Structure 1
């Protein structure tokens, strides 16, 4: 807990607090996907691949640009930590901070996931979400957040007085990426990044501003569906916290597998083309 304030508030403190907020990134000029064009292809999808992500472990898959993929709950409530990369260039990867700034703390139907600098372009579009009914609850919680960093063995070590745990999502993603790319684990780890917490129900407490989690509302059969804007390498960890109702980074929570399905459409969305790399000239004023 933060200590009580030691600075006396100024006479106009309430007026200062009452200043209305301004959205940091107005998105009126941001190109938006034609969601109807994407969804028009959904009835004709042909499944071309499946990957099972074991509990407390991770797995990888590739998706060609113009294909769809789904992350599905199959046996019980389970959250997943998702990393996405350009399949041909690991340096281009999901940038959750900018995705959050442009969409909000949680993502859903019609939102796009943006890649890291200097590329900064949409790499995936969410085309279906069977949890879109949840919205925001009375605690300020919602699903599919881009605010959490992923459970990791370093924070676990810090908070557990030296504990060693190897099935945190960070370690799971590291092992899976190393296996998929042939990189040594230390090099693979450097590419693992902040995640999209699929199915996880999270928010910030109103009194302390702390990041919280609560039981995921996901049910078997629920899924989150994406359209690959570029060739993608996906890496997903089935979190050792299970539905994250009580804890993570442990072997005590009940965990379940997750299923990834890759689908090929009969065509491409009308007018669609893979997005170009960001147009900034990278001169930085020099």
Structure 2
């Protein structure tokens, strides 16, 4: 039987999901207090502050409209903590259903936002897809590949949101979470030969009033970009756009502590300096302490 490191890491250790805790949090929803309302309008991007213990709810206020969402520590300029697609994909999977968590980059490696609620009608979602998923976004360059130049993109909309907080394009370039667009994985034959797997999107099946809500595990700066493909039922020049509503709620519930990782880098550095000074051993020991 093959060893599954992800299952091992998330089964009772510091990365495991306390499902009952989140279910209890959701049961308290009637007591949550609305503290802010905003809107993400066509061909734009906005930045929203979401303190720890609050939620951000994004609602289809008018009709089906894809949004791209990214999470950063409110102190990102100093601590560098942000959503990481790779770790989220490995731990939670590509499709994020209720109680799935968005994980941060190293060295924090902790949940920073959790899908706490949605009212998605699963019966309308195409088979083997889900409308909350880890991925990327369109850009001016991607749009040019379809023959469209000079049009707003998710990337430029993220740039607008970042710019409003004194951040630059490097922030907009990070991968993100996509909502209100069913996505799955398909197997295709590669032009060079052999088989490959990739994403396959479907037009949005969202309806007016549908929402996705994330719980902030830490103080967050959330960037929300309006997708210029609308519901992706047509190309970018024919898309129909709708405004989405952004609401922030105070749950009154303090988040759980993140994993308490033991710092290993100083010990590792001592080992590297020893090897550089005295030369490599024939076989490196597995544990740093055994090399010192």
- Provide TM-score, normalisation by structure 1: 0.80
Alignment of 1:1-286 (within 5 A): 23=4, 25-26=6-7, 27-29=10-12, 30-33=15-18, 34-90=21-77, 91-131=80-120, 133-134=122-123, 137-138=126-127, 140-146=128-134, 148-157=135-144, 159-160=145-146, 163-179=148-164, 181-183=165-167, 188-192=168-172, 193-208=174-189, 209-247=197-235, 250-265=236-251, 267-268=252-253, 272-275=255-258, 278-283=261-266, 285-286=268-269
Between the aligned partners of 1:35 and 1:283, the Cα distance in structure 2 is: 36
Between the aligned partners of 2:100 and 2:121, the Cα distance in structure 1 is: 12
C-alpha change, 1:136 and 1:215, in structure 2 (3 Å) is closer
Between the aligned partners of 1:135 and 1:219, the Cα distance in structure 2 is: 10
Q: CA RMSD in A?
A: 2.3
- Provide TM-score, normalisation by structure 2: 0.79
Between the aligned partners of 1:277 and 1:152, the Cα distance in structure 2 is: 37
Between the aligned partners of 1:254 and 1:122, the Cα distance in structure 2 is: 35
Residue of structure 1 in register with 2:275 after alignment: none
Question: Does structure 2 retain, via aligned residues, the 8 Å contact 1:120–1:277?
Answer: no
Deviation at 1:274, TM superposition (A): 4.2
Between the aligned partners of 1:200 and 1:21, the Cα distance in structure 2 is: 34
Between the aligned partners of 1:110 and 1:240, the Cα distance in structure 2 is: 28
Between Structure 1 and Structure 2, how many residues are aligned?
253
Deviation at 1:149, TM superposition (A): 1.2
Question: Does structure 2 retain, via aligned residues, the 8 Å contact 1:73–1:258?
Answer: yes
Deviation at 1:191, TM superposition (A): 1.4
- In structure 2, stretches of 5+ residues that fail to align are 190-196, 270-292
Between the aligned partners of 2:125 and 2:115, the Cα distance in structure 1 is: 18
1:211-266 deviations in Å (ceiling 9; x for gaps):
2211112111111111111000111111001112233xx2321111111100112x
C-alpha change, 1:231 and 1:132, in structure 2 (3 Å) is farther
Question: SS of the counterpart of 2:188?
Answer: coil
Between the aligned partners of 1:36 and 1:71, the Cα distance in structure 2 is: 20
Question: SS of the counterpart of 2:162?
Answer: helix
Larger Rg: 2
